Amino acid sequence: MTNTENKLIGTRRKSLTTMLAALLAGSLVATAGGFAYAKTDGQAFDPAQFQQRIEKRVDKALTGTDATQDQKKKVAEILQTAFKDMKPLHDQRVENRKAMEAAMQAPTLDPARIEQIRAEQMQVADASSKRFTKALTDAGNVLSASQRQAFFKSWSQSHDQNHGKRHG
C-alpha cells in the first residue's frame, strides 16, 4: 500500500470511530427522556404511581400561584396523556438500543444497518420531542402568563436538580 492509501484508510477508520461515538452519545441523549418517563428503581412500572407523581409535580410547580384546582387538574391530565402517548416511543428507543448493541457486536460492522438504526432513533427522538412540546404548549395555554412562567421555572428547576442527581 502507498502512503496515501494508508492515510485514506486511517481517515476512514477515524471517521467511522467518530460517527460511532457521536451515534452512541446521541443515543444516550435521545433516551434520557426514558428515565424521566418511568423512574421505576428496578420495579415494575405502576401507571397509578406515575399519575400521582405527575399530579404532585404539577401541584408543586404551581404552588404560590393563583392556579385553581381545575387548572392544576387539566395540566396534570395533559401531561399524563402525553406520557401515555409517548410510551410506545420509549419502547421503540429500547428496541433501537438493543439493535444498535447487536449491530456493534456483530462479527462484521454493517455501516448501512448502523445508519438505519441511527436514523430510526432520531425519528423516535423527534416524535417524542414534538409530542412533549405539544403537551407543554397545551398545558401553558391552560395557565395565565404569570402562572405559566412560575410553572415552567419550577418544572425546569426540578428537572435540573433531578438530572444532576442522576448524572452528576
Q: Read out DSSP for 26-38?
A: HHHHHHHHHHHH-
Can you give the pTM of this predicted structure? Answer: 0.63
Measured distance CA(167)–CA(150) in Å, rounded: 26
Domain span at 32: 3-167
Domain count, the chain: 1
Rounded to whole angstroms, how far apart are CA atoms 110 and 84? 34
pLDDT one-digit tens code per residue, 26-37: 333 333 334 444
Place of cell 425546569: 156
Percent helix, percent strand, percent coil in the chain, to nearest 5: 85, 0, 15
- pLDDT tier at 154 (50, 70, 90 boundaries)? confident
Predicted pLDDT of residue 75: 92
Q: Is the pLDDT of residue 64 over 50?
A: yes
Q: Is the pLDDT of residue 116 over 60?
A: yes
For 8-49, write each residue's pLDDT tens digit.
565 555 554 444 444 433 333 333 334 444 444 445 567 788
What is residue 50's predicted lDDT score, i.e. its pLDDT? 82
31 or 168, which is more confident? Answer: 168
131 or 50: which carries more pLDDT confidence? 131
Helices (H) and strands (E) in the chain, counts: 5, 0
